[in-house]
Amino acid sequence: MKRIISTNKAPKAAAAYSQAVEANGTLYIAGQIALDPATGKIVSGGIKEQTEQVLKNLGAILKAAGYSFKDVVKTTCMLSDMANYQAMNEAYGKVFYENSPARAAFAAVGLPLGALIEIDTVAVKSS
């Protein structure tokens, strides 16, 4: 059985996808960019500010589904420029500082709305 997760504390899905889907105790969160859910616009600043907003959006979706960052087992970080990797990793490390999830990080050309970063996430309920 699958459950669709949606919260107004994260950006609304802009196309034919859900913010997240839970199936069999696993939560799959769609790629999030640095949209402020209140304005629908990319936050100002650089990669640090955008990474922080993406993590806020992911946190809101995790919370809406009854999960936390401690339940995250895998992330995929797509960067518009790998030169931003170190700054992204510093902001990312403030959330995932202990028992970090598995992660892939790579450059992706043409992220939505000119975003500098997009992160998708998989979480599994802790026992």
Q: Could you give the number of structural domains in the chain?
A: 1
Residue 92: name the closest of 124, 50, 62 by CA.
50
Which tens digit of pLDDT belongs to each residue from 73-126?
A: 999 999 999 999 999 999 999 999 989 999 999 999 999 999 999 999 999 987
Q: What are phi and psi of 96, to 5 degrees?
A: -105, 70
Residue 38 belongs to what domain range? 2-124
Give the integer Cα–Cα distance in Å for 48 and 120.
17
pTM above 0.85, yes or no: yes
Which tens digit of pLDDT belongs to each residue from 50-66?
A: 999 999 999 999 999 99
Q: How many CB atoms lie within 10 A of CB 122?
A: 17
Q: Is the dihedral of CA 89, 76, 71, 41 positive or negative?
A: positive
Query: Across the strands, what pairs with 108?
Result: none
Helix-strand-coil percent breakdown of the chain, rounded to 5? 30, 30, 40
Residue 68: name the closest of 114, 123, 30, 25 by CA.
123
Q: Identify the CATH number of the domain in which residue 59 sits.
A: 3.30.1330.40
